[in-house]
Amino acid sequence: MAADTTVSKQPSETLTPLLEQALPNVKGKTFTSAIVDFPPNARAVPHRHGSAFVYAYVLQGTVRSQLAGGPVRTYHQGQNWVEQPGAHHLLTENTSRTKSTKLLVIFISNTGDKLKVDDPPK
């Protein structure tokens, strides 16, 4: 009998843009707001947000996060954090196996830049 070679892939997050608007008083910069939904047990691939300044607010659930050079932190509903331009996001995961986690994320980015660039697979 052949061994089962099915590999279960851990769920990932989805980003749903709410508003994208060029900043009228800061040439070349765009404001983007989005809801990031982490289903139960979801984990994001390590990534960067380019030259964007990022603000994240936990709307629902609990998320574990780590930026390069910093400790692993856990954020609960109502808590928030910022990421400086060029930050390397090593860990972002929903801590629950049964409930979704949702974040409101605000990006101040260079107009036209990608908001998330995943690390290449190893």
Domain coverage including residue 34: 14-117
CA 71 to chain CA mean position, Å: 17
Q: How many domains does the chain have?
A: 1
CATH value at residue 96: 2.60.120.10
Split at pLDDT 50, 70, 90, the class of 1 is very low
**Residue 5 is assigned to a structural domain of this protein:** no
- Residues 30-67 have pLDDT tens digits of 999 999 999 999 999 999 999 999 999 999 999 999 99
Average pLDDT, stretch 18-41?
97
**Residue 2 is assigned to a structural domain of this protein:** no
To the nearest whole percent, how much of the chain has pLDDT over 70? Answer: 93
- In sequence order, the 6+-apart residues with CB closer than 8 A to the CB of 82 are 53, 54, 55, 56
Tracing tokens 């980003």 back to the chain, one arrives at: 15
Phi, psi (rounded to 5 degrees) for 62: -140, 135
* Mean of all residue pLDDT scores within the chain: 92
**Residue 122 confidence (pLDDT):** 75
Within 13 Å of residue 40, how many CA atoms lie on the same side as its CB? 4
H/E element, 88: strand 88-94
Q: How far apart are CA 78 and CA 3, in angstroms?
A: 46
**Residue 122 is assigned to a structural domain of this protein:** no
pTM: 0.88
**Residue 110 is assigned to a structural domain of this protein:** yes
Asked if 28 and 52 touch (Cβ cutoff 8 Å), the reply is: no
Residue 86 has pLDDT above 60, yes or no: yes
**Residue 27 confidence (pLDDT):** 96
- In sequence order, the 6+-apart residues with CB closer than 8 A to the CB of 91 are 43, 46, 64, 65, 66, 72
